[in-house]
Structure 1
Amino acid sequence: MNGIKLHKGDLPANLDLGAIIAVDTEAMGLNPVRDALCVVQISSGDGSAHVVQLNRDYDCPNLKALMADPAVLKIFHFARFDVAMMQKWLGITCAPVWCTKIASKLARTYTDRHGLKDVTREIVGASMDKSQQSSDWGAAELTDQQLHYAASDVLHLHHIREGLLAMLEREGRVELAQACFDFLPVRAELDIKGWEDTDIFAHS
């Protein structure tokens, strides 16, 4: 597990990860209201990852402070889900955020393949193993395979953001993307409160 640091319950105090971090979460399922948040993984972009295995009391003040810190930009892939999980289970508003999935959909309009595996392959030239995506993240002890999977989801996000940002700048869509990112905490709250499948902007 070279470069992967496992923390039980919370991040260490005074851990400086910089002003831009990559973040992902693992949970018991895809329903933020029903399925417990189990793991939060973080990378500062230096090739290493911090994996926080959460207790179900969610007594993790250091992690909460980092996720809510307005001076730290959090990069996600499909931030809508992760931000909703943190709102529901950590009781915080995670901001500011930058979502590589939204950026991909706004910049890579020549494809409909916007999953992390496809975006990583094109932007970074790296392959990802997603075999541990569906596993028991609530287990008392995480396997080496789970830890490596969790780390892999954040290790490339800084470079992906750089690549997508260049494309957004070229296409003149940076401000549009930023407006979408700023709306994500509200979108997450709508998901939690029952409007996850409703387009409130639609005519009917």
Structure 2
Amino acid sequence: MTVHFHEEDIPEGLFAPGASIAVDTETMGLITPRDRLCVVQLSDGSGDEHLVRFGPRSAYDAPNLRMLLADPERLKLYHFARFDLAAIRFYLGVTAGPVYCTKIASRLVRTYTDRHGLKDLARELVGVEISKQQQSSDWGGPELSEPQREYAASDVRYLHAMKTELDKRLEREGRTDLAQACFDFLPARAELDLAGWPETDIFAHI
């Protein structure tokens, strides 16, 4: 496994046409308009990960990355897609779908637990321990440390393998179509977050 580092964009033709791409983001915090996008992580499941860093005065003019994320022929795999979709939409100006979210899939089939974090899924589904020690570190600094790079890479490293196992369970429990409907709604859910309805259930009676 090799972690590749890029500044402001990815090289053209980095991934094979049509390959599904695992995607994650690192930001300065959890409030998207305030807390800038610092890193986008990518993996096609082949064993390498790619980190794209954006500086504090970035114009987010990343044509190759934007084209990759907006490609309607590529499935994008996320863990908690809602947040990443909003950050990518706000800063890069594209809707990064079609979408598969391992957290939603987990909630639909792992109803025997309330632990749906990436670390929990990695342990149960692929037998790997992921360290979350760098989760709250400063992603906007002038350099990314090796622990930060490894942490960021691990966020996309296992999503393809997780999807394979979760798909089996969705099929077994008869919830594949329901999961797909949830995935299809996620870009709209991210738009609602950005438009000012982050904690409002617009489907609620009251």
| Bin of the TM-score, shorter chain as denominator length | over 0.9
Please give the alpha-carbon distance, in whole angstroms, between the structure 2 residues aligned to 1:15 and 1:87. Answer: 21
Please give the alpha-carbon distance, in whole angstroms, between the structure 2 residues aligned to 1:31 and 1:108. Answer: 29
Q: 1:1-204 alignment to 2 at 5 Å?
A: 3-17=2-16, 18-55=18-55, 56-204=58-206
Please give the alpha-carbon distance, in whole angstroms, between the structure 2 residues aligned to 1:89 and 1:201. Answer: 28
Aligned residues: 203
Q: Alignment partner of 1:75: what SS?
A: strand
Deviation at 1:14, TM superposition (A): 1.6
Root mean square deviation of aligned Cα: 0.9
Deviation at 1:187, TM superposition (A): 0.1
Structure 2: which 5+ residue stretches go unaligned? none
Q: Alignment partner of 1:172: what SS?
A: coil
Q: Alignment partner of 1:38: what SS?
A: strand
1:14-33 residue CA offsets vs partner (Å, 9 max, x unmatched):
21245211111000001112
Q: Give, as a single letter, the amino acid of the residue that structure 2 aligns with 1:87.
A: R
Q: Which is worse superposed, 54-63 or 15-24?
A: 15-24
Q: Give, as a single letter, the amino acid of the residue that structure 1 aligns with 2:63.
A: P
Q: Which runs of 4+ in 1 moved over 2 A?
A: none
Alpha-carbon contact 2:15-2:44 (below 8 Å) kept: no
Please give the alpha-carbon distance, in whole angstroms, between the structure 2 residues aligned to 1:156 and 1:15. Answer: 19
Q: Give, as a single letter, the amino acid of the residue that structure 2 aligns with 1:53.
A: R
Structure 1: which 5+ residue stretches go unaligned? none
Q: Alignment partner of 2:22: what SS?
A: strand
TM-score where L is the length of structure 1: 0.97
1:46-103 residue CA offsets vs partner (Å, 9 max, x unmatched):
1210000023210101000000000111100000000000111111111101000000
Q: Among the aligned pairs, what percent are the same residue?
A: 60
